[in-house]
Structure 1
Amino acid sequence: MSTRFSRAGRWLFGSHPQSLQETATTVLKYGCLAYVVRTYGVGATFCVGPSMLPTFNSFGDIVLFEHVSAYTNRIQAGDVVIARSPQNPGNLVCKRVLGLEGDFVKVAASTYLGPARTVQVPAGHVWLQGDNALNSTDSRSYGPVPYALIEGRAFLKVWPATQASWVKRQLS
């Protein structure tokens, strides 16, 4: 008994019944590869909001980030990182690392955050702040962030294409 394939089926899977199994295996292999690259290699995210002005626009730049630096504890002060929000772990935040564990960070006075103070970053934490200090919810509001919440280090702004550039490490 022969199996009949439609024209679309022959185009997608070939004319042999074994082609369906081979195609499924190939799709599964590429799916696994994509998962590994996304989880352990490179990811992309939108950076939305005014907290990282002027580094990123407030309307939603697309940024690539790599996971290796976070997994190997190679995040440095001045890096821009993508992290889980301590206030809402379902959301990602894009902030600059101003202090690593053991560092002392000077927090400027403001009417919203209170008097000036110096904070020592505890072990296993980082101090994150937006580049736009006047309009950013960051470690000044929610305190030091556990290192485990860091997803990766932003390295390339890819959108808008006219503003594509490397994300530079800098200390504010």
Structure 2
Amino acid sequence: MGSSSSFWSLAFRQGMRSGAFLGEIYCFLHVTTNYVGFVGYAFGPSMNPTLHPSGNFVLAERISNRSQKPIRGDIVVFRSPENPTKTPMKRVIGIEGDCISFVIDPEKNDKSQTIVVPKGHVWVQGDYTHNSRDSRTFGPIPYSLIQGRVLWRVWPFQDFGPLGPTPT
């Protein structure tokens, strides 16, 4: 009977150690992805040639709305104003106060429009403007929808490298 008791005691201690280790891993991942950075997947033609249409894994840093604001040329991940379950990646073309002129639908005609980006918002567009749903469709996006700033392409490995701001 003594050996059975020691077996369960040993199993219990080992289970508690394993559970604590899994809890620590979960806490580390939670804090890292919610407050430091995360890995995202970008696919589709709108950011071609910067990001490949068949897909790139990217590393993005979280942006605190109070301390950091995106600058022109940054690629940002944001919650879509049209569908909150989607998180597209686009380039910041204009920041609050900028006057932006753009062709409304480059595929159909040359009709253009000019807008002043309101306070607390940014104007985002895909690099491949002929095939991109962006601020030309849904307007400027508020800072509160921005999830992070893309820093690196990490996969496929031949595309590995930094993605700093590009002059617009």
Match 2:131 to one of 120, 131, 135: 135
Q: What is the 5 A alignment of 1:23-42? A: 23-42=18-37
Contact (CA 8 Å) 2:102, 2:114: kept in 1 or not? Answer: yes
Tell me which stretches of 4 or more aligned residues in structure 1 moved more than 4 Å: 111-114
Q: Which moved more, 1:22-31 or 1:56-65?
A: 22-31
- Over the matched positions of the two proteins, sequence identity in percent amounts to 35
Residue 95, structure 1, aligned to residue 90, structure 2: yes
Counterparts of 1:69 and 1:167 in 2: how far apart (Å)? Answer: 19
Partner deviation per Cα, 1:53-96 (whole Å, 9 max, x = no partner): 00001011111100046562331111000111111110010100
Counterparts of 2:133 and 2:155 in 1: how far apart (Å)? Answer: 23
- What is the alpha-carbon root mean square deviation over aligned residues? 2.0
Match 2:146 to one of 150, 153, 158: 150
What secondary structure, in the 3-state scheme, does the structure 2 residue paired with 1:151 have?
strand
Counterparts of 1:35 and 1:19 in 2: how far apart (Å)? Answer: 24
What residue ranges of structure 2 are gaps of 5+ in the alignment? Answer: none
Counterparts of 1:3 and 1:89 in 2: how far apart (Å)? Answer: 53
Task: Give 1:41 deviation, angstroms.
Answer: 0.8
Match 1:105 to one of 100, 105, 110: 100
Residue 164, structure 1, aligned to residue 160, structure 2: yes
Contact (CA 8 Å) 1:69, 1:153: kept in 2 or not? Answer: no
TM-score by length of 1: 0.87
Contact (CA 8 Å) 2:57, 2:154: kept in 1 or not? Answer: yes
Q: 1:168 to 1:95 in 2, by over 3 A?
A: same
Match 2:17 to one of 22, 30, 55: 22
Counterparts of 1:33 and 1:107 in 2: how far apart (Å)? Answer: 43
Corresponding pairs, count: 164
Counterparts of 2:64 and 2:71 in 1: how far apart (Å)? Answer: 9
Q: Which letter maps to 1:84? A: R
TM-score by length of 2: 0.89
Counterparts of 2:109 and 2:29 in 1: how far apart (Å)? Answer: 43
